[in-house]
Every structure is written in C-alpha cells, then in structure tokens.
Chain A
C-alpha cells in the first residue's frame, strides 16, 4: 500500500515532468482584460484587438484615419451630412454579406447603449446604395474618428438579441471565434472569406490573466507568445532574456491629478500651480514608472497637433511652491502643515488599484506634497468613485490615467473632459476662450494653431496637473516575428504576425 502510493506519486511526477514546453501552432495572446460577455459595448475592445470585429474607419500608427469597412467618406457643404461608402464583398463570419442595412443596424444598436456615439448630435443614420449617411444637428469634423472606436464595431444582425444586447460576436475580421469561455478565454481561427489579405498565423487564442506578475512569468516561460500590459519591473527582467523581445512605444495616455477647481483651497490658479511645482516628475517617472522623463505638459508627444514643443515645461521648485502658497495667505502650522483661517491644508486624493502604478505614485505624491506643507490622505478605491465624486461634488483630488485617443481624434476626449462636465477631466473649471477654441476645432474650423492655443490655456490654468506620459509595453516570444504595438490601443496586429523561420 505504502509502496504503491509512492509509486503513484512518482508516476505522477514523471507524467508531469518530461512533457515538452509549449510546442503547438497556436499564437497565444495574454492580456489583463477579461471577457465579460459577447457584448460590443463592454468587451468590444477585446474583439477589435484580436482582429475579430472591425470598424468602418481605422487609424494608422500616427493616428491618421484610414479606410476600414468604409472605403471612403465625405461630408456635405454644411457639415451636417456624412456619407460613408461601404467596402464591397465583405462577409460576416456567418457567411452573410455586409450591407448598408446591417451597418445601420449595428450603429443604431451601438448608439442606444452608453458610449461616445450616444452623446453625438446625430439625428439619423440611413442606408443608401452601397453607403450609409449620417445626419447631424451640428457640424462634427471628428465623426469618422468616433466610428473607429471599438463600440462602433460592425457585427452581423444575428449577433444581437431582440433587445439589442450582444449574444454572439459575428464580425468581419481576419479571425473568427471558434470557442469563447468568458471571462478568461477565447479561441479564433483565420476566416477564409476575409476581404483583406489572409493572416499568416491561422490559429490564435486569448487568455485574460489579471495579475501582471503571472503575465510576465508566462512570457518568461514561453507559455504565451504575445503578452500585453507589462509593469516596469517585469520589463527590466524580460529585457535580459534572449527568448523574448520587449516592445515599448509611447501612447497617448497621461498620468494626471484631477482636482476640484471650486474647492476653497484649489480655486486660485496659483494654488494649483504650487501643487504642480511640488511634484518631482522626473523622480516619479524614473523611480516608479522607470521612464526616462516625466510629463512637461498634458498632451503626450503621441497626441499629434495637441502636443506643443514650444510650451514652457512644467517644473519642480519647492521654494516657489511655498512662496505661491504664502502669497495666498497660508502659514506653516506647528506640525509643518499649512494653515489658513484655522483650516489645515489637508486634502483627500482618490485613486484606484486597477492600474497598479497609481497607488504607488499616490504614496510618492503624499511625501512630495508634505514637503510644501500640504497633507494628503490617500483613498485607493473603486475607479467609479472618481466620476461619482465628480458628479456629487465631493471629490477633492484624484490620481488617474487618461487616454486621449480611445477615439483616435483626441478632440472627442478633450471636448467631453474639458468643455463638457467630463467625469474624468476638469472639475468645476470653465474657460470661455478654451471652450470656443475647442468647439471650433470640433466643428472643423481651426488647425494646429488653435490646438496649441487650447493646450497653452490648460498649461496656464492647470485644471488638471499632468505628471507622466505612459508607454505601452509588451513581450513577444522569439517564435513569432512582425509584432508591433498600436499606440492607439486598437489592435494587437495579429494578422500581420508570422512564425519565425
């Protein structure tokens, strides 16, 4: 009995032991995202990134809009009617043809759900001869960019239930789903009737792995071929391996502090500038994010047109910060924290741990603000506390990461965050000049000069305080070549990858 138990143990160990490490012909993709449901409005970005669903409009690496399922688009003289010419011969994964009616159906369903399309001044979407027309109540130059966003993906009518909720993902992309097991996995294979060039690698699989340590170990052990969303520590370690290539590109995401501009401590631009001067951006970038430099302005260089090299950079000067606050009537109290009219300069900074670097940066900010006599209490909680606190007016400071190009034209995000009552942008901050400039750009009047002017107002007024510009990093195994990173985080580019010779 005892011996047989030991034999069984040994047999199990042997069974486990010599099996070869990963030698299949499937490209294994690992990222942090979980598949909630076959629903484009929630998990749609996974389907577009995996090359399963497509949008009418695409964006290239520089953010220029390029044809997708629409080959061409044009706007009427008055800017109120857009016509999108549809690509011929496109088939959905269930074999049905993409027609103007199916496109209108998909866009109307997307427009009825929360998302960027819902807020647009669209009065109607109508099918035409090989085209669709979108009519607006006011001009919107960035409309094609909105149709490049993942929630505008075009799925076959059979993808939606009677109430419009997604029931299956039947897209038009180079890959079609063969098996999907929410929340963590999805298998897909090359779609034989794809309208474009067929992918080189036939079978792909997606796994959602929420822990970054695990993702890095999967890259290191060769278990996964394409590992998305690495943290700085893993990047340093993976960079030393020969079997893995680490790719990194700047993306249009900024780490910033959102603040309540009507809070009595923060209402004056001088107070906001003092907080900004207290931040050692280079130190945070090097120590926490392992980037060479911090942000010098809100828009990263990847946000073409809005980033202005001529803008004088945000600096770090504790002495000047203290002087600015002294000028506003703040005096140092017995414990080193500033006091004015009997009130301590104490604020709560809300952040969320979904992005693991945020609580770390918050802890550094607590130290750096203390050096100018400002006390921070960190509240690391659910991400929704930030927009909820924005709406009910209780938010003081928030540390967050904001991507300006989820819609490939940043105007959409700038408009909603800094002119509208944007949940993730400025809070209680209004600037008529800025609003006029941005509304003009949205209508299509105004170019780089107006964009630079708007960016300069944000730099002077600091409705939010920029800290760092993000980079996206991923690891690719030496089994594959041709991997790229999309700075707009729209696609994994699987269809362009091939097995290494």
Chain B
C-alpha cells in the first residue's frame, strides 16, 4: 500500500516537473510562436502575416509566463488539458485517440519481443557456450546495432514489397500492426534475449538446480518448476527500462509507417509550437513511465516474495 502511495507522490512530482519543464522549453525556443502555429495550421503555401496576426489575436499569445503556467497547472488539477492551438480540438480527445494507437502498437511490440527473445535466451542459457548461445550473441548484437528506421525499411522491402505478405504502411486492420510491431520487437528482443540468457545461465549454475536434477527431475521439469519464475524477475524488471526504448522507437516507427500515434503527435506539436499538446503528450508519456514501473514493482513482488520482505 505504501508502495502505491509513494508511486502516487512520484506521479504528482513527475506531472509538475514535466509541465514546468516543457513549458519553459517551449517558451525559450527561438522564433515567434504565432508564426509557428500559423505555419502548422495553414501550411507553407498559405502562412503569411495575416495568418500569424489572426493566430496572435485569437490565442492572446505573448502574455507573461507565470500566469500562463499557473493557469495550465490549475486546469490540470481539474483534469482539463486545454485545446490544441493548431487543430482547436481538446488535447485530451486528441491524446486519447493517439495514445490508443500507440499503446496498442507498443503492446503488440512487447508481446512479440517476449515471444521471440526470452525463449531463445533460455535455450541459450541452458547450454552456455553452445552453438545457439554463440549464434544468439551475434544475432542480438547485430539486431541491436541496426537503427530502427533501417530495420523498418528492410522489413517493408522484404515482407511488403518483395513477398507482398503484409501492408507496407498505414493502419486500420490487424495486419497493419505486424511490420511496425516487429520493427520495435526485434530491437527489444535483442536485449531481453540476452537478459534471459544471462539469468538462465546464472540459475542453471546454482546448487538448487543441480539438486533438482539430482532428485530426478528432467531438465524440462526443472525449468518449469524452478527456472522460469527466477528468469522472469530480471526480465520483468528490465521491461520497465525498455519502456524508454519503446517510446523512442515508437516516435520513429510511427513516422515511417504513417501510424497516428502519440510519437507522431508529439513531433508535430513541437514543430508547430502547440504548447498544450506538447505538455499533454509529455505528461502522458511521463505518467506512463510511472504507471509501468508501479505495475512492474507489483509484478516482481508477486513473483519474488523476498523483495517485499
């Protein structure tokens, strides 16, 4: 319970810090915000002084900073994220739309990575130094070294353009999830395969493992009864860290695959100086981090009661 309370305090601190930091950063960017917003709204063919003046008059930009920040924090306390300066729609509605798209993509990516990485890592960890272990080391190092945009293009060219199995980009159906999901998953799997391998190798070298086999369990039975839970603790802990990689990856992958997610929204909001959207998306991502870590804490406590003690 106290763990949850401390996470709640953490969430509030994160919200305040992110709000203030994004606000300060957006304010200190060079260039006139009214012009940037006008460019975001009307596009380069139609942005001119009249458009910038209209934006300035409509939004009352250029007021003192402190009242604007306090206003935002006050609105936030009432769960009001404000309206986007570019589209005029409520930020909460925009984020809900985009977060759903990103979260479902991220979930697919994590599930795919868990299907690919840990099983291979466990097999490799059971025979350290074996062919699979050495092969996996090369493969995961290689996959981790490939930038995500390159990985995305390679997958599109191979699976969509050459083999025509999957749509190259876009969104809407289940099949659209596979390529962007796989792009993210391969990078994640490259790392969690290593984590699983090291954990497995460490556990397989422990006395209890030999004892389990000595008392007559097969390797398979030993793994299922004594191995998996032990391997899953570092794996799940690491998943929390991978959330950062995932958020970074989502921004690149969404832009390549034309995915209407939060990464895409954040990039566009920054370009067109849409402060409420930037604050809102950064806040949601920051709070997402707190929530994921809280969930992982709970999961690890459940798996390994020694942690709670």
| B122 A223 Cβ-Cβ under 8 A | no
Determine the chain B residues whose CB is within 8 A of the CB of A406 once the complex forms. Answer: 45-46
Q: Does B49 contact A (CB under 8 A)?
A: yes
Smallest Cβ-Cβ distance to B157: which chain A residue: A217
In the bound complex, CA of A452 to CA of B121 (Å): 74
| B161 A217 Cβ-Cβ under 8 A | yes
| A221 B164 Cβ-Cβ under 8 A | yes
Q: Does B241 contact A (CB under 8 A)?
A: no
Residue in A18, A213, A388 with the greatest tally of chain B CB atoms within 10 Å = A388
| A16 B44 Cβ-Cβ under 8 A | no
Binds A, one of B5-13, B84-92, B301-309: B84-92
Q: Which of A335-387 contact B (CB under 8 A)?
A: 352, 354-355, 381-385, 387
| A388 B52 Cβ-Cβ under 8 A | yes
Q: Does B75 contact A (CB under 8 A)?
A: no
In the bound complex, CA of A406 to CA of B86 (Å): 22
Task: Say which residue of B44, B49, B170 sits within 8 Å of A354 (CB atoms).
Answer: B44
Q: Does B160 contact A (CB under 8 A)?
A: yes
Residue in B41, B48, B50, B166 with the greatest tally of chain A CB atoms within 10 Å = B48
Q: How many residues of chain A are within 8 Å of chain B by beta carbon?
A: 63
In the bound complex, CA of A5 to CA of B223 (Å): 14
| B48 A387 Cβ-Cβ under 8 A | yes
Closest beta carbon of chain A to B272's beta carbon, Å: 8
In the bound complex, CA of A14 to CA of B181 (Å): 16
Task: Say which residue of A182, A421, A424 sits within 8 Å of B87 (CB atoms).
Answer: A182
| A388 B32 Cβ-Cβ under 8 A | yes
| A217 B115 Cβ-Cβ under 8 A | no
Smallest Cβ-Cβ distance to B166: which chain A residue: A16
**A-B contact number at CB 8 A:** 163
Closest beta carbon of chain B to A203's beta carbon, Å: 13
In the bound complex, CA of A6 to CA of B51 (Å): 58
Q: Mark A5-18, 1 if CB is under 8 A from B, else 0.
A: 11011001000111
Q: Which of B28-75 contact A (CB under 8 A)?
A: 31-32, 35-36, 38-39, 41-54
Q: Which of A6-55 contact B (CB under 8 A)?
A: 6, 8-9, 12, 16-19, 21-22, 30, 34, 36-37, 39, 41-42
Task: Say which residue of A208, A211, A383, A424 sits within 8 Å of B256 (CB atoms).
Answer: A211
| B165 A17 Cβ-Cβ under 8 A | yes
| B44 A388 Cβ-Cβ under 8 A | no
Determine the chain A residues whose CB is within 8 A of the CB of B47 once the complex forms. Answer: 383-384, 387, 423
Smallest Cβ-Cβ distance to B55: which chain A residue: A114
Q: Does B169 contact A (CB under 8 A)?
A: yes
Q: Mark B236-265, 1 if CB is under 8 A from A, else 0.
A: 000000000000000000011110100011
Q: Does A225 contact B (CB under 8 A)?
A: no
Q: How many residues of chain B are within 8 Å of chain A by beta carbon?
A: 61
| A403 B258 Cβ-Cβ under 8 A | no
| A9 B115 Cβ-Cβ under 8 A | yes
| B165 A384 Cβ-Cβ under 8 A | no
Determine the chain B residues whose CB is within 8 A of the CB of A5 once the complex forms. Answer: 115, 118-119
Task: Say which residue of A115, A217, A424 sits within 8 Å of B168 (CB atoms).
Answer: A217
Smallest Cβ-Cβ distance to A217: which chain B residue: B168
Known: A36-B41, A211-B255. A217 touches B119 (CB 8 A): no
Q: Does A207 contact B (CB under 8 A)?
A: yes
Q: Which of A117-140 contact B (CB under 8 A)?
A: 118-119
Determine the chain A residues whose CB is within 8 A of the CB of B260 once the complex forms. Answer: 181, 183-185
Closest beta carbon of chain B to A46's beta carbon, Å: 11
Determine the chain A residues whose CB is within 8 A of the CB of B171 once the complex forms. Answer: 184-185
Determine the chain A residues whose CB is within 8 A of the CB of B54 once the complex forms. Answer: 113-114
Q: Does B211 contact A (CB under 8 A)?
A: no
| A382 B36 Cβ-Cβ under 8 A | yes
Q: Does B271 contact A (CB under 8 A)?
A: yes
| A210 B258 Cβ-Cβ under 8 A | yes
Q: Does B167 contact A (CB under 8 A)?
A: yes
Q: Does B14 contact A (CB under 8 A)?
A: no
| B170 A223 Cβ-Cβ under 8 A | yes
Q: Does B224 contact A (CB under 8 A)?
A: yes
Determine the chain B residues whose CB is within 8 A of the CB of A181 once the complex forms. Answer: 97, 260
In the bound complex, CA of A6 to CA of B120 (Å): 9
Q: Does A2 contact B (CB under 8 A)?
A: yes
Q: Does B116 contact A (CB under 8 A)?
A: yes
Q: Does A214 contact B (CB under 8 A)?
A: yes
Q: Does B153 contact A (CB under 8 A)?
A: yes
| A387 B49 Cβ-Cβ under 8 A | yes
Task: Say which residue of A115, A184, A382 sits within 8 Å of B258 (CB atoms).
Answer: A184
Q: Does B212 contact A (CB under 8 A)?
A: no
Smallest Cβ-Cβ distance to B115: which chain A residue: A9
Q: Does B156 contact A (CB under 8 A)?
A: yes
Q: Does A209 contact B (CB under 8 A)?
A: yes
Task: Say which residue of B35, B86, B160, B255 sits within 8 Å of A36 (CB atoms).
Answer: B86
Smallest Cβ-Cβ distance to A161: which chain B residue: B88
| A39 B164 Cβ-Cβ under 8 A | no
Enumerate 11 A-B pairs (CB-CB under 8 Å) in ascending A order.
A19-B175, A36-B41, A39-B88, A42-B43, A118-B50, A214-B256, A217-B161, A218-B169, A220-B168, A383-B44, A383-B47
Chain B residues packing against A (C-beta within 8 Å): 31-32, 35-36, 38-39, 41-54, 86-89, 97, 112, 115-116, 118-119, 122-123, 153, 156-157, 160-161, 164-172, 175, 178, 220, 223-224, 228, 255-258, 260, 264-265, 268, 271
Q: A222-B164, A223-B167, A223-B168 are in contact. List 15 more A-B contacts (CB 8 A).
A: A1-B228, A9-B119, A12-B112, A21-B165, A114-B54, A183-B260, A183-B264, A210-B255, A217-B157, A220-B161, A382-B271, A383-B39, A384-B47, A388-B35, A423-B47
